[in-house]
């Protein structure tokens, strides 16, 4: 069952009382069979019944694997030469080489190499399938200001900005080293010296701004996106891209 279908039924208040900590993380775990419906202590009886029914009705097998197969099938019908330039990829024979989280990944009709997990593969394939649109304009905006961004901005905050803020708080040097290993570039012109541009995917740059804790102010993190980001992935997928970035940084730090 798709985590987004689960998420829609959850209270979406991120109360933090389940082991997952946020409603989106709980939805992802529940869809993967790594959590129990009863772990959400805020569900109404009606919502609990609906979730139980949906879970028992869902097809056996993993939806992610099925979705991956569909996307690879779509990929096999794409004209690679037509899409490559618009998404910042390179055609190599029958494959596309694309930079994802700081490394080159080869995508072909037989799959994706490069040791990616299934979430990463889905993101790369959705990005290729959408085939982009405008080039990044250099105009940075908050997630909530993207098309439909207000619906997912709390999820993006919980899955990307807050974990980054905690990592910065816990061990600043490790996080900065990991950012550098993923190809982040430090830039000036913002109200913090910790301002970085990173490209999780070639045409989807993130501007990461980190403010260290100071006196009564806690550490803060804002991640801005180019106004064209939703030409490449919708806001739900962008939320998962933010989460994938955090995962990649954690692996390195
Ligand atoms: S207990 Fe329920 S409402 Fe609270 S964060 Fe977890 S899923 Fe969300």
Cα 32 to ligand 1 centroid, rounded to whole Å:
16
What is the C-alpha separation between 231 and 199, in angstroms, rounded? 15
Fold of 3-57: 3-methyladenine DNA Glycosylase II; Chain A, domain 3 (1.10.15)
- Assess whether pLDDT exceeds 90 at residue 1: no
- Separation between Cα atoms, residue 78 and residue 89, nearest integer Å: 13
Query: Which of 60-64, 100-104, 116-120, 148-152 has the highest mean predicted lDDT (pLDDT)?
Result: 100-104
Give the residues across from 91 on adjacent strands: 96
Distances (CA, A) of 250 to 15, 140, 217, 244: 24, 25, 25, 10
Boundaries of every domain in the chain: 3-57, 63-130, 140-252
List CB contacts of 19: < 8 A, sequence separation 6 or more.
35, 39
Find the mean pLDDT for residues 120-131.
Answer: 94
Protein residue with its CA nearest to atom 7 in ligand 1? 23
C-alpha of residue 113 to centroid of ligand 1, in Å? 35
What ranges in the chain are assigned the alpha helix state H? 3-9, 23-31, 45-57, 63-76, 80-87, 118-130, 149-156, 162-170, 172-181, 235-252
Mean pLDDT, rounded, for 225-239: 94
pLDDT cut 90: percent of the chain above it: 61
Give 118 Cα–ligand 1 centroid separation in angstroms: 25
Map residue 220 onto helix, strand or coil: strand
95 alpha carbon to ligand 1 midpoint, in Å?
A: 42
pTM over 0.85? The answer is no
Task: Tell the residue nearest (CA) to atom 2 of ligand 1.
Answer: 40
Quickly state the pLDDT bin for 4 (edges 50, 70, 90): confident
pLDDT bucket at 19, cuts 50 / 70 / 90: confident
Top-confidence residue, 120 or 57:
120
Average pLDDT, the chain: 90
Q: Select from 8, 20, 158 the residue to mutate for testing ligand 1; criterion: most ligand atoms less than 8 Å from CB.
A: 20
Say yes or no to pLDDT of 137 above 70. Answer: yes
The two three-digit tokens of residue 46, written as one number:
């009606």
CATH label, 140-252, candidates 3.40.50, 1.10.3470, 3.10.50, 3.30.310 = 3.30.310
Which residue, judged by its Cα, is nearest atom 1 of ligand 1? 40
Ligand 1 centroid from CA 16, angstroms: 6
- Take atom 8 of ligand 1 and give the residue whose Cα is closest: 23
* Ligand 1 binding pocket, CB closer than 6 Å: 10-11, 13-18, 20, 22-23, 26, 40-42
**pLDDT for the residue numbered 64:** 78
Q: Which residue has the higher pLDDT, 142 or 151?
A: 142
CA of 58 to the centre of ligand 1 (A): 22
Fold match, 3-57 / 140-252: no
């Amino acid at each position: 069952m798709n985590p987004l279908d689960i998420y829609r039924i959850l209270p979406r208040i991120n109360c933090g009382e389940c082991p997952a900590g946020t409603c989106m993380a709980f939805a992802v775990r529940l869809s993967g069979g790594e959590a129990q419906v009863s772990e959400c202590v805020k569900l109404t009886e009606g919502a609990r019944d609906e979730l139980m029914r949906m879970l028992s009705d869902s097809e056996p097998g993993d939806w992610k694997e099925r979705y991956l197969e569909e996307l690879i099938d779509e990929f096999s019908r794409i004209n690679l030469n037509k899409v490559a330039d618009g998404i910042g990829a390179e055609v190599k024979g029958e494959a596309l080489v694309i930079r994802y989280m700081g490394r080159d990944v080869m995508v072909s009709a037989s799959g994706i190499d490069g040791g990616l997990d299934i979430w990463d593969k889905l993101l790369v394939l959705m990005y290729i399938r959408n085939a982009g649109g405008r080039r990044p304009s250099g105009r940075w905006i908050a997630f909530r200001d993207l098309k439909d961004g207000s619906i997912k901005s709390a999820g993006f905050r919980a899955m990307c900005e807050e974990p980054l803020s905690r990592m910065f708080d816990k061990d600043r040097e490790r996080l900065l080293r990991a950012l550098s290993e993923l190809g982040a570039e430090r830039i000036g012109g913002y109200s913090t010296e910790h301002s970085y541009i990173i490209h999780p995917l070639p045409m989807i740059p993130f501007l990461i701004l980190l403010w260290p804790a100071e006196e009564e102010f806690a550490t803060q993190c804002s991640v801005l996106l180019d106004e064209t980001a939703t030409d490449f992935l919708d806001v739900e997928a962008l939320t998962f891209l933010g989460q994938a970035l955090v995962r990649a940084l954690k692996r390195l730090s």
